Chain A
Amino acid sequence: MGLAHQLTPFAALLPLGVAFLMLALSHWLPPRSADVTSLVVSLGLVVLCGWLAIESLHGPILHWFGAWTPEVSGKPDVMLGIAFSVDPASAAVAAFCALLFAGSFVFAWGYFDKVHAHFHILMLLFLAAMIGFCLTRDLFNLFVWFELMGIAAFALTAYPLGKSSLEGAFNFTVTNALGSFLMLAGVGLLYARTGTLDFVTMGRVIASVPPDPVIAGGFCLLATALLTKAAIVPFHMWLSDAHAVAPSPVSVIFSGVMVSLGLFGLLKLIAMVFAGDAQVMMLVHVVLFWLGVATAVVGGLMAWAQRHLKRLLAFSTIAHLGVMLIAIASVSAIGTEGFLVYLVGHGLVKGTLFMIAGILLARFNSVDELELYGEGRSLWPAGIAMGLAGLLLGGLPWGLLHDATDSVHAGNHGVAGVVAIIVGTALTGAAVLRATGRIFLRWSGVPAVELVAPTEREREKGNRPLWLMLLPCVVMLAIALLPADLAESFLHSAASGLVARVVPHEGGGTLAAAITFALTILIPAASLLRRRPIRKFARRAVEAETAPFYALHVLHSGRVTDYVVWMMVGLAVLAGWLKFG
């Protein structure tokens, strides 16, 4: 019962308490006090969770709420209480969430000072939910934090009250709320079969019973909810709507960490609860792997075909989530290590890119790559940051993302996975570089597929100096440029604490990385050198090139009713593979 044990619950309780206090005083708070308080709280949580991560290297820290420890029930398999279980990976992810929030609070300094600190209240509740989601060891408690995370996110998306942001928020709410109902049904099924809600006990019970449709069904329902949150094909449609229209400081959080938390939750469930069920593990190895492949490819193609910068970044997030899912589907220590580094590296780079999109919005009232042609020259520091972030996203052989991709390649055993990672990574990096070239360098190139993409003019308040908005970008990029080797021993114990399974490492990662980076440079170069097709043959070629992208645009229709159909198709794929596969 050391200090770490006593401090663990504060990670979630402190932001909740501060949010309630701010709400109680909301009509009387002096200006800027909400900004200061939120920033201090999130920085404090970075320190707390980081320290907990290091402390937990000696063994997981368990805190039973209300002192309802396992002994109270007097029966071996009955866990009455709820525990927060701190392992290095969970605490590190929680610390990363808090770090990203701190960056977002700096970026949004003074932006949201009109509505009684309500923005900060929502953000702090959001942060508390994420930290609770990372640390909890109880299935229903996980649902509660998941749901709180959802409600805060829905509200923040609709915050600008524009036409698109309201519709985007509606689509986001309906799909994710439907996911959460399915999750609750899954929790119910698992409780009915195993009689407990505690991860570890449930895992023990599942390992001791023969494969059972109720357990498999429970997994499918939970996976649907988490894959919806994580925007995996075919559950991914809401993301491009929501992330493209949310205020940029909020999109930083959404793309940076909220969606990847869905995958982190899935990883924890697979590792702690379902590891003993052979049927479910087969589903993970096969179906989740192929869903990851599809996600990386679709996300990459769609990102390339966008002109609205925030929508482009949203699709790029989808592609990278596919790569992360491929890492998870290997269920191996090296894959998990790759996933954890990827989560952090991607979050930092994507957060930076959304902040730069926010800077463009604040200055030019647009994030349309074609409308902004050459406008960005006066903002050259932002251009340098964007170019660097694009290179990192596209596999620059340096920094966290590169090291993470290496680990993912090492844990992945399939040509399809390698190809999907190359395509997804290269196309998203290429798309960002193409936009950078057009906006900041006046490089032209006749637009092709991106011309038909949806776009809209929008506005964001530009009441902050440029250096203040660039400060978090620079810090985050600097962290993303660190090599992952610095924390090698920590990463090993964090990953093996979740998934201990060791697989033989695949070679060829270096070759794949070289191909990826070459493509990242060559594709935008080719695109920016493009001339108007004059000859008949050239026009035909352009039409043939555009057609598949056009079909993809049509499928991503923006209608929530379509999205629900795709969700059901996805659930049917999971369930049908178990039944007939």
Chain B
Amino acid sequence: MTGPTSKKTKRASWSGDRSRALGRKLIVPILLLVAWVVIARMQLFRTRVIPPPEAMWASFLGLYEILPSAILTTLTMTLSGFAIGTAFGTLMGLTMAYSRAVREFLGTVFDFLRPVPVFALIPLFILWFGIGRAPQIALIAMGTSVVLGVTTLEAIRNVPSIYVRAALTLGGNRQHIYRTVILPYIVPHLVGAIRVAAAASWGLDVAAEFMGSQQGLGYLIIMQQVYLRTAGIILLVAVYSTLAVITDTIIALIEARVTRWTERRAGIGVVASIVGSA
């Protein structure tokens, strides 16, 4: 096995911290890739369990044509559900915090619906909306709105009272304070929940597609499973992952822009190394 060591020495010959850091980041993935190739070559497992690289390539060529439309379907459904759920959940949280009347009337229903395992609702949605896009979007929207609703409510409860007091002594009324104090304050706190909700959306989408769709990546995965094409499944899962990473990166970029005013960005040095931001 001379492969990995020669790769490593090549890298080490560039001098400097940057290439060493890069080396540290890449070494585990590279070792895993090498291990995979070796295991496949030595046929330690049946091809159904660990497909060799050639099978991956063949699978890719086979799926190549239908992949784009499947990705588009999955993407539009997941993002719609996520967008609807986030908007609805945040709005729900805001309304419940703002209006005591809403809290009293809808609070019980909300508390009751909250712990329902969302996946259990898939069959219900299929009966209601039929097989197609609607039940999927409904599921994703439902799942994400609960997360966002609860987080929004909690975030509002934790707004430091001093800001509200200051706003009151400057002439702000309830509505104005919600718009100019509460909302800006909770945005950075919601972003964390939004990232989690985005990741969860993908999971919800897969479950929804498994249960009854005729197109999309999840549907393709089921098809691959039926024909025992392990390589195809791995490939499709990788596509799912890539989509999730891309959306997460986009959200992270928006987060950076929107949290410009928070103290977080001032954490350089020792503090950052302890809390893991450096």
A complexed with B: no
**What is A's interface to B at a CB cutoff of 8 Å?**
none
**What is B's interface to A at a CB cutoff of 8 Å?**
none
